[in-house]
Structure 1
Amino acid sequence: MTKYIFSQLILNWYHKNGRKNLPWQKNKTLYTVWISEIMLQQTTVNFVIPYFKKFILNFPNIKSLYNSKLDDILYLWSGLGYYNRAHNIYKSAHIINKKYKGIFPNQFLDVIQLPGIGRSTAGAILSLSLNFNYPILDGNVKRILIRYYGIIGFLKDKKVEKKLWNIIESITPIHNTGKFNQGMMDIGSSICTSIKPKCKICPLNQECIAQIEKKWEKYPLKNIKKIYPEKISWFIVIKYKNNFWLRKNTEEDIWKNLFYFPKFNNKEIALNWLKEKKIHINTCENMISFFHKFSHFVLHIHPILITLPYISKFFKENNTNIWYNLKKPKNIGIPRPVEKILEHFKKDIL
């Protein structure tokens, strides 16, 4: 199959079956496509849609983003995960305001220098918004190419990736690049899936090596199942009526600049902290423990609920310590495990 026929098959399929009504595909701009592409990094389309809608409603342009506080961005990002993406958006808004007078750049070398944007993301932003001739190589596209060309190797292997870049550069059409890129992503997510691909309805099935061999599971090679290390944290959930004491994480760590409960490495240290601060309590009880998975480890969380008879001087609010009221919640970034614990108490509020 020639390169022209390959791209034409993708374009024909996209014309009939491709997704054209996603929120970021309507009245699209460099700005909205940028936000969607950052949100879609390591996150599925269906999960991103409500976050994207709410984000654009609150931050419709670069100016509104630049004039916001990081806490405002993290608040809307709460639950989406991979919070470095939100930090990168905030940093980029300041760079764009200063270096490009508040206008999102439309040159590849400028776009790729923004925080959190690599070669594929830059190509996606420019091709999907302006139809510029730049290829993309996300996980979905890699899987299609590996199966179609029968490339033996791992998805994240550098040599394989270099070979795939050479291929995608050669087959990406000069015209209708945006539609071709979107078509490849759509086929990868809906047809050429990692498990049980729908080869019979794939527009590339006639000359796809994986389909001819009837061994799609061979492409790409599967990594040995990784065993994630476990870490343990004890949360002190301090409650006074409908208020919960939260701290802002200002360290270079997970959940940077998000608010969470006082966190400790073991129960003894957690309880000693309460004694040292001479915190008067009504009750102390263990809540149900649970796991939270990160990209590189699993956190085992043990919450301890502390109810207070009154608010002592120790609990004064400032920039890094607040009382979070469930009836009138503040617009702050909260990681999913904290949200999960707070949701346990929301059901009791009338």
Structure 2
Amino acid sequence: MTKYIFSQLVLNWYHKNGRKDLPWQKNKTLYTVWISEIMLQQTTVKSVIPYFKKFISSFPNIKSLNNSQLDDILYLWSGLGYYNRAKNIYKSAQIIKNEYKGIFPDQFLDVIKLPGIGRSTAGAILSLSLNFNYPILDGNVKRILIRYYGIVGFLKDFRIEKKLWNIIELITPIHNTGKFNQGMMDIGSSICISKNPACKICPLNRKCIAYIEQKWEKYPLKTIKKNSPKKKSWFIIIKFKNNFWLEKNTDKDIWKNLFYFPKFNDKKTALIWLKEKKININKCENMISFSHKFSHFILHIYPIIIKLNKVPKFFKEKSTSIWYNLKNPQHIGLPQPVQKILEIFKKDIS
């Protein structure tokens, strides 16, 4: 199949079946497409939609974002995960403000220099917003090409990646690049999915090697998954009326710049900390423990709740920590496990 036929089949399919009503596809600009593409990194469309709407409602344009604070962005990002993306948006906003007069750049070499933007993301931003002729190579597109051309190899093999870039550059049409790119992503996310793809309704099945061989599971080769290491943390939840004591993480640990409950690697250290703060540990109650999965490990969390009748001196001192008011919450970034715990107490707000 020639490159023209391949791209035309994708475009024809997109015209009839492609997604055209996603929030970032309406009145799209470089700015809105950029935000959506960063949010969509390692995250599903379904998960991104409510966060995107909330983000654009608070920051409707690049000008409003240029004047934002990192805490404002992290607040809107709370629960979406992979917080470095939010930090990259903040860093990019400052660069755009200082180096591009507050206007999102429309040149590839300028876009790709922004934090958190690689070759594929830069191509997606420019092609989907301005229809510029740049290919994309996200996970969905890689899977389609590997199956269609019968490429045997691992996704993370740099030689395979180089080969896929050569192919996608060849078959991406000069005209309607944005629609083609969106069509490829849509086919990859709805038809050519990782497991049990709907090959019979795929517009590319006639020449697809994986379909012809009836061996889709062979493409790409599966890497052997290693068991995720397990870690433990004890959260000390200090409650006074409708307020909860949260500390801002300023280290290079997980959840940097986010607020969380005082966190310890073992229960003994947590109890010693409480004694130092002159808090009666006999009033501690254990909450139900739970696990939170990161990309590279699993964290098992043991929450301990202490309800105070009065605030000890330590908790009145000024610091980067705050009393988080559940009734009138501050705009700060919260990790998902912290949100999960706070949701339990929201039911009892007086």
User: TM-score, with normalisation over the residues of structure 1?
Assistant: 0.98
Give the Cα separation in 2 of the matches to 1:182 and 1:257.
34
Amino acid at match of 2:345: F
Aligned to 1:159: 159
CA distance in 2, matches of 1:15, 1:87: 36
Q: Which residue of structure 2 lines up, in the alignment, with residue 254 of structure 1?
A: 254
Which amino acid in the other structure matches residue 164 of structure 1? L
Q: CA separation in 2, counterparts of 1:245 and 1:317?
A: 12
1:181 corresponds in structure 2 to 181
Q: Confirm or deny that 1:223 pairs with 2:223.
A: yes
Q: Which residue of 2 aligns with 1:342?
A: 342
Aligned to 2:111: 111
**Counterpart-to-counterpart distance in 1, 2:317 and 2:66:** 26
Paired with 1:297 and 1:126, the residues of 2 have a C-alpha distance of 35
8 Å CA contact 1:280, 1:308 repeated in 2: no
- Per the alignment, residue 69 of structure 1 pairs with 69
Alignment RMSD (CA, Å): 1.0
Query: Per-residue deviation at 1:226?
Result: 2.0
Q: Quote the offset at 1:230 in angstroms.
A: 0.8
Q: Quickly say closer, same or farther: Cα 1:29–1:318, change in 2 above 3 A.
A: farther
Distance 2:98 2:173 in 1: 35
Could you say which residue in structure 1 is the equivalent of 2:193?
A: 193
Indicate yes or no: 2:103 matched with 1:124: no
Give the drift of 1:207: 0.4
Q: Tell me, what secondary structure is at the counterpart of 2:244?
A: strand
**Where has structure 1 moved over 6 Å in runs of 4 or more?**
none
Alignment of 1:1-350 (within 5 A): 1-280=1-280, 283-316=283-316, 318=318, 320-349=320-349
Q: Partner of 2:114: helix, strand, or coil? A: coil
Contact 1:97 1:103 in 2 (8 A): yes
CA distance in 2, matches of 1:48, 1:20: 16
| Structure 1 Cα separation of the partners of residues 311 and 328 of structure 2 | 18
Equivalent residues of 1:199, 1:211 under 8 A apart = yes
Residue 253 of structure 2: SS of its match in structure 1? Answer: coil
Q: What is the alpha-carbon distance in structure 2 between the residues aligned to residue 136 and residue 47 of structure 1? A: 22
SS at structure 2 position matched to 1:305: strand
Query: How far, CA to CA, are the matches of 1:25 and 1:319 in structure 2?
Result: 43
Post-superposition offset of 1:63: 1.6
Deviation at 1:316, TM superposition (A): 2.1
Please state whether the residue corresponding to 1:272 is helix, strand or coil.
helix
Contact 1:247 1:322 in 2 (8 A): yes
Gaps of 5+ in 2: none
Q: 2:148 is matched by which residue type in structure 1?
A: Y
Q: CA deviation at 1:280?
A: 4.4
Cα distance in 2, alignment partners of residues 106 and 316 from structure 1? 49
User: Displacement of 1:319 after TM fit?
Assistant: 5.2
User: Does the Cα contact within 8 Å between 1:282 and 1:306 map onto a contact in 2?
Assistant: no
Alignment length (residue pairs): 350
| Equivalent-residue separation in structure 2 for 1:42 and 1:223 (angstroms) | 18
CA distance in 2, matches of 1:211, 1:318: 64
Q: State the Cα deviation string for residues 132-168 of structure 1 (Å, max 9, x = none).
A: 0000000000000000000001111111111000000
CA distance in structure 1 between the partners assigned to 2:191 and 2:178 by the alignment:
19
Instruction: Identify the range of structure 1 (229-238 vs 274-283) with the bigger mean alpha-carbon deviation.
Output: 274-283
- Give the unaligned 5+ runs of structure 1: none
Distance apart, 1:66 and its partner CA? 1.7
The whole-number CA distance in structure 1 between the counterparts of 2:84 and 2:271 is 32
1:16-45 Cα offsets, whole Å, 9 max, x none, are: 000001000000000000000000000000
Once the two structures are superposed, residues 169-194 of structure 1 have per-residue CA deviations (whole angstroms, 9 ceiling, x without a partner) of 00000000000000000000000000
In 1: Cα distance, 2:241 partner to 2:20 partner: 48
Distance 1:55 1:317 in 2: 33
Instruction: Please state whether the residue corresponding to 2:207 is helix, strand or coil.
Output: coil
TM-aligned CA deviation for residue 68 of structure 1: 1.4
For the residues of structure 2 that align with 1:290 and 1:336, how far apart are their CA atoms?
12
Per-residue deviation, residues 46-89 of structure 1 (Å, max 9, x unmatched): 11000000100100112211211111100000000000000000
Alpha-carbon offset, residue 332 of structure 1: 0.8
User: How far 1:313 moved relative to its partner?
Assistant: 1.6
SS in 2 for 1:38: helix
Question: Helix, strand or coil for the counterpart of 1:237?
Answer: strand
Q: Does the CA contact (< 8 Å) of 1:282 and 1:307 recur in 2?
A: no
Q: Distance in 2 between matches of 1:176 and 1:319?
A: 54
